[in-house]
Structure formats: C-alpha cells, structure tokens
Structure 1
Amino acid sequence: MEWFKKFMEDRTGVDHLSLALLIVSILLFLVGKLFGWEFFAWLALVPLVLCYYRALSKNKLKRHQENILFLKYWYPIQSKWINQYRAFKAKRQYKYFKCKECGQQLRVPRKKGKIEITCPKCRHTFIKKT
C-alpha cells in the first residue's frame, strides 16, 4: 500500500469533473448494454479513459482550471434541480395564493381550515380555506 501512496503523491486525484466523467461512462455503458447498442458500450470507454487521465495527471493547475470551468456550468444546473425538488416537496406542505391587491405570491400551511391571510407586502387581508 505504501507504493500506491508514493505513486499518488504528486497526482491530481478525483474531483467533480472526474466523477461526472465516470458517471457518464457508466450511463453510456448501461444504455449500450440494455438496448444492445454496442457502439454506446464502446463509447463509454472515452469518458472512462479521460477520468483516469485526470485522476493520474501531475498537472494540478491545468486539472484545477478544467474543474473550475466544469463547476461554473454544473452549479446552476444542480441548483435548478434542487430548487425544483424543494418546490415539489413544498407543494405537499403548503398552499399558494396570490394577493388580489399587489399580486404577491403567499404561502400558507395546508390543512389549517379557514384562516385569515395577511399579505406582508401591502397588508391586505383575506380569508381562504387551506
């Protein structure tokens, strides 16, 4: 095990882009095998080789720059998915209304019966069933 530690000492290792390449490789391989498309199974080797190349590379600065560029595009996609998941989860817990005066969207908890809702923006009050 000591030889492996010495071997990996100056190497880049695995980062976000390497993991993404590994996942793409696995997905391509599975699609190729499930649908009988041999081309996809062979195509899965390209991101896998890139993943290993990045992990074993000694050029840390270049790999870091590539990872930063990847994260620049990945984080907005990831945060969009997370926000959509949270909104989906919140739909079960909350009911949404629009204020008739200012159009502000208001969130109130579900299953509370008839409640008086006050808009925090314009202070208009109305009664709705949740």
Structure 2
Amino acid sequence: SADRAKTHFKLPVSLVIPQEGAVAWLDAFSIPVGSKNVAGAEAFINYMIDPKFYVEWVTKVGAPVSANTKAVDALPEDAFNRKVMGSPDVAKRIQFQAPVTDEQREKYLALWQELKVNVK
C-alpha cells in the first residue's frame, strides 16, 4: 500500500484521486448457507475486523481502508487510511462500480477468450 511504502520504506509516494473521480471497491466477508464451520468463520471475521488487529495490519504490512470506524479511529492520527476514511473530499470523488450483469459477464468472457486465442 502507499502508506506502507511511504512509512516503512520511505518512498516518495502518495494516493492521488483525480478531480474527475475514481472507481472504488469493497471487499466483504460472508458465510455461505450450509457452511460446516460457522463458528470458525465468525471467529475469523471478528479477528479481521478487530481494531487491535487492524492497527497491526496497517502498520506492519499495509491494509486496505476499513469500513469499521472503530478500527480506523484506533489508527495513529497521521495514518493514511485514517485520512482517507475521514475525508469528505475523497468520499465525493469516488464511486463504486455497479454489479456486473450476466450480459456484461458474457461479453467480458468472450473478449478474454479472444485475447487468449490471439496471444502467441
């Protein structure tokens, strides 16, 4: 992540969101119906969203911005992820991509197949 590269490796990088905006995405946790180890899955999810773990993840490895405000609030004031999460300007300039329809997925698949066939 840019934050990790900047703080740990002292590289001159930063996140830039163009005035025109940028595409954002979300990663999510879920437990499928019929899962055999629901308790284990719940324990894993709770661990991953725990503020104490999140601070360690951000500072030692570099982590995506969390939707868990308690986790973000536990970060140091100057943490990149905290600045991004709390910036109304950033929120105004990003948009989430709509789900891909079956028709779009078929087009993507056809293009991918064509690309694979034509690569030598």
- TM (normalized to structure 1)? 0.23
Flag the structure with higher strand content. 1
Q: Which has the larger radius of gyration?
A: 1
Flag the structure with higher helix content. 1
User: Of the two structures, which has the highest relative contact order with CA contacts closer than 8 Å and spacing of 6 or more?
Assistant: 2
